[in-house]
A and B are shown apart, each in its own frame.
Chain A
Amino acid sequence: NAGVTQTPKFQVLKTGQSMTLQCAQDMNHNSMYWYRQDPGMGLRLIYYSASEGTTDKGEVPNGYNVSRLNKREFSLRLESAAPSQTSVYFCAGSLETSGRNTQYFGPGTRLTVL
């Protein structure tokens, strides 16, 4: 049982390049999330998926797209990377039951955009 896994762990991009961050979970989560974490700020939600086949914008969605490929996998794509997207990205999953849930996080992807 690996929990929530993310690839890659580190990535350096040049401005304008594109890439996809991968996330997978084996905890039977129905909901999955993408956050970014910047120094001095709390984790901020980029996109979330309440269930397979649905995705919605979070607090800071501009410059990103997502795909909920199946129940296990939720990817985040940067179509044209910008230096402002330099951050640490975390994927999380949760099982929504009876209005109570806990989000479990992956190990993160550290992205630098030059």
Chain B
Amino acid sequence: EDQVTQSPEALRLQEGESSSLNCSYTVSGLRGLFWYRQDPGKGPEFLFTLYSAGEEKEKERLKATLTKKESFLHITAPKPEDSATYLCAVRILSGGYNKLIFGAGTRLAVHP
């Protein structure tokens, strides 16, 4: 069964305390892995797409990496404004269309 699991469910960090969020997946035929940020009461906001193992993408304090089984979202020296829920999704071909399977997300709280 195609599945995406994110860990931890929630993470509390002090400002400046670097850490990583994990997204592990078991799917057949990965066609891309996506990271989104979601603020309370808002829609998911696109961050990164990774297509092949070994690929890395960076944006400000965020860096996403991809292996054959999982992806990591590294947060370096986070600030309170990085507090949000981070969603991971994998794209597969299913029933003739490109389908996104989402994980349940990691709630990140960064405290000053």
Q: Which of B36, B43, B103 touches A106 (beta carbons < 8 Å)?
A: B43
Q: How far is the CA of A108 from the CA of B32 in the complex (A)?
A: 24
Question: How many contacts A-B (CB < 8 Å)?
Answer: 50
Residues of chain B touching chain A, judged by Cβ–Cβ distance below 8 Å, are 4, 31-32, 34, 36, 41-46, 49, 51, 87, 89, 95, 97-105
A108 proximity list for chain B (CB < 8 A): 41-43
Please report whether the interface of chain B is mostly helix, strand, loop or mixed according to DSSP: strand
Q: Which of A50, A58, A90, A100 touches B51 (beta carbons < 8 Å)?
A: A100
Q: How far is the CB of A104 from chain B (nearest CB, A)?
A: 6
Q: Which of A4, A42, A96, A101 touches B105 (beta carbons < 8 Å)?
A: A42
A4 proximity list for chain B (CB < 8 A): 43
User: Is A43 among interface residues, defined by CB-CB distance under 8 A?
Assistant: yes
Q: How far is the CB of B9 from chain A (nearest CB, A)?
A: 8
User: Is A45 among interface residues, defined by CB-CB distance under 8 A?
Assistant: yes
Residues of chain A touching chain B, judged by Cβ–Cβ distance below 8 Å, are 4, 40-45, 48, 50, 56, 58, 90, 96, 99-108
29 A-B pairs with CB atoms under 8 Å apart are A41-B104, A42-B4, A42-B101, A42-B102, A42-B104, A42-B105, A43-B87, A43-B89, A43-B100, A48-B97, A58-B99, A90-B43, A99-B98, A100-B51, A101-B98, A102-B49, A103-B34, A103-B46, A103-B100, A104-B46, A105-B36, A105-B43, A105-B44, A105-B45, A106-B43, A107-B42, A107-B43, A108-B42, A108-B43
Contact yes or no, A43 B31, CB < 8 A:
no
Contact yes or no, B100 A45, CB < 8 A:
yes
A58 proximity list for chain B (CB < 8 A): 99
Contact yes or no, A102 B44, CB < 8 A:
no
B49 proximity list for chain A (CB < 8 A): 100, 102
